[in-house]
Amino acid sequence: MFQTAFQPTAFQNNAFQIVITPVRPTGGDDAWTPEERKKYKALQKKLQVAENKRIEALKTDAKNRKQAIADLVNPKPVAPIQQNKVQSNQEVSVDIPSNLANIDRYIANLVRQQQDLQTAVAMREAKLRLEQEIAILEAKRQAELDDEEAILLLL
């Protein structure tokens, strides 16, 4: 009897969580100045180009890795060279950051710049809203003072 009344999908896991999505600049948003809109769009373009470069670097790295494995499994024959001296097979390895790591850092920097820009716009918008609220409260305070003075004059 009670089993049919309960709906297992009636409750959501995140019903009481507050989710704040960043403000995206649109044509009618008054919080964004034209310079900020222009900078945000430029950052988006740079981010798209960097993402495309990252995808190409991933493909190139995969191709190079595949070729290296193929060379290890099936090495190409090399003609033996006769030499009188003993050769030392020492290589100096330098840790050079890969192109992919540089692109990832660049993308992270662009994302951080976008977030900073969005934060600055949100803070300015909150500041304006607070200034408006303060002005309203000050007007109410002045009205109450005028009412008190009027009552005192009547007494």
pTM as predicted: 0.51
Q: What is the reported pLDDT for 112?
A: 92
What integer is the mean pLDDT of 67-89?
Answer: 68
Per-position b or e across 100-138, b if 16+ CB within 10 A of its CB: eeebeebbeebeebbeebbeebeeeeeeeeeeeeeeeee
- What pLDDT sits at residue 57? 87
**Using an 8 Å Cβ cutoff, are 58 and 100 in contact?**
yes
pLDDT of residue 1: 47
User: Which pLDDT score, from 0 to 100, does residue 84 have?
Assistant: 56
In this structure, is residue 108 part of a structural domain?
A: yes
| Structural domain includes residue 135 | yes
Q: Which letter does DSSP use for residue 30 in this model?
A: T
Total structural domains within the chain: 1
The 10s digit of each residue's pLDDT in 91-100 is: 555 555 677 8
Residue 78 lies in a domain: no
Domain-embedded: residue 139: yes
Residue 45 pLDDT more than 90? Answer: yes
User: In whole angstroms, what is the distance from residue 119 CA to residue 36 CA?
Assistant: 12
DSSP state of 105: H
Q: Is residue 47 a part of any domain in this protein?
A: yes
pLDDT category at 12 given cuts 50, 70, 90 is low
Domain range enclosing 54: 34-66+98-154
Q: How large a percentage of the chain has pLDDT more than 70?
A: 68
Q: How far apart are CA 117 and CA 36, in angstroms?
A: 7
Task: Mention every residue, 6+ apart, whose C-beta is less than 8 A from residue 54.
Answer: 100, 103, 104, 107
